[in-house]
Amino acid sequence: MSCQNYREALSARLDGEPLGMPVDELDGHLSHCPTCTAWVGAAEGVTRRTRLAPAPAVPDLTATVLAALPRELPGARAAARVRLAGTALRLVLLAVGVAQAALAWPVLVSGAGAMSAPVHLAHETGAWNLALAAAFLAVAAAPRLAAGALPFLGSFAVLLLALTLADLSAGHVHADRAGAHLVLLAGVAAVAGIAWRGRRRRHLPALAGRRVTA
């Protein structure tokens, strides 16, 4: 076998790689070949100097990199506006819930404001309105409930609006009594806004994933 093959094995030994031949055979060759012994000595010196050589000085680019970064992440301002809009909707719904409870409480306690309805019917009306207030307050506290509450609240609001307009035109209800329903409509609109925002947040990650894998 030529010395070149042994030198390749010696180079592999210096690099910590497989020799490609028995160790005894390689060491036996070194003991009888002064040329390869001198070669491996020189190679070991080069390897040692390379590994122990000081690393070249690298300039500190921290300030330059930080200066090149944008002052705010892309979309941060839009995300802040979205969060602000969500907070505003919840505050509106909180106010609506308190107002709805204030309208329901006198009717529930004393029957006042129920347009001379029988006491039990007035109590039922008050309990119903107080339950609506509780639903608004629950969604304001936990927006994830909006999607579940919206079908019931929305259908009730649409039906109540149609009946109130018909009663107004027929003179069966006073304008101030009908105007009190605006609180309910505002609450349903806020719940719808919160539910729409929640649905949009759930779909955005899925759409992003489809764009990445496409």
Give yes or no: residues 8 and 109 share one domain: no
pLDDT digits (tens, 9 = 90+) for 71-104: 766 666 777 777 888 899 999 999 999 999 988 8
Q: What is the DSSP letter of 19?
A: -
Tell me how many domains the chain contains. Answer: 2
Q: Kindly state the tokens that stand for 161.
A: 């609006």
Higher pLDDT, 51 or 135: 135
Average the pLDDT over 161-180 and give the result: 85
Give yes or no: residues 37 and 123 share one domain: no
Higher pLDDT, 115 or 196: 196
Percent of the chain at pLDDT exceeding 90 = 26
Report if residue 69 sits inside a domain. Answer: no
Give yes or no: residues 21 and 85 share one domain: no
Question: Which segment, 84-93, 123-132, 203-212, is predicted with the most confidence on average?
Answer: 84-93
pLDDT digits (tens, 9 = 90+) for 29-50: 888 888 888 888 888 888 777 7
Q: Which residues of 15-45 are buried (b: 16+ CB within 10 A; e: fewer)?
A: eeeeeeeeeeebeebeeeeeebeebbeeeee
- Please report the pLDDT score of residue 206 as a whole number: 45
Give yes or no: residues 45 and 138 share one domain: no
Give yes or no: residues 36 and 108 share one domain: no
- Please report the pLDDT score of residue 153 as a whole number: 92
- Please report the pLDDT score of residue 175 as a whole number: 83
Give yes or no: residues 9 and 88 share one domain: no
Which distant-in-sequence residues (6+ apart) come within 8 Å of 156 by Cβ? 188
Which distant-in-sequence residues (6+ apart) come within 8 Å of 181 by Cβ? 160, 161, 164
Report if residue 64 sits inside a domain. Answer: no
pLDDT higher than 80, residue 189 = yes
d(CA 85, CA 82): 5
Higher pLDDT, 23 or 53: 23
**Of 152, 163, 165, 160, whose CA–CA distance to 191 is shortest?**
152
pLDDT higher than 90, residue 178 = no
Report if residue 101 sits inside a domain. Answer: yes
- Residue 191 banded pLDDT, cuts 50, 70, 90: very high
Higher pLDDT, 198 or 147: 147
Helix 119-141, helix 76-110: angle, nearest 10:
160
d(CA 205, CA 83): 17
Report if residue 66 sits inside a domain. Answer: no
Higher pLDDT, 140 or 206: 140
- Please report the pLDDT score of residue 113 as a whole number: 54
Do 78 and 49 contact (CB within 8 A), yes or no? Answer: no
Print the domain residue range for 18: 3-52
Give yes or no: residues 45 and 87 share one domain: no
Give the mean pLDDT of the chain.
Answer: 81
**Identity of the residue numbered 71:** R
Do 3 and 36 contact (CB within 8 A), yes or no? Answer: yes
Give yes or no: residues 102 and 143 share one domain: yes
Instruction: Find tokens 């209800």 and name the residue.
Output: 173
- Please report the pLDDT score of residue 211 as a whole number: 45
Give yes or no: residues 28 and 82 share one domain: no
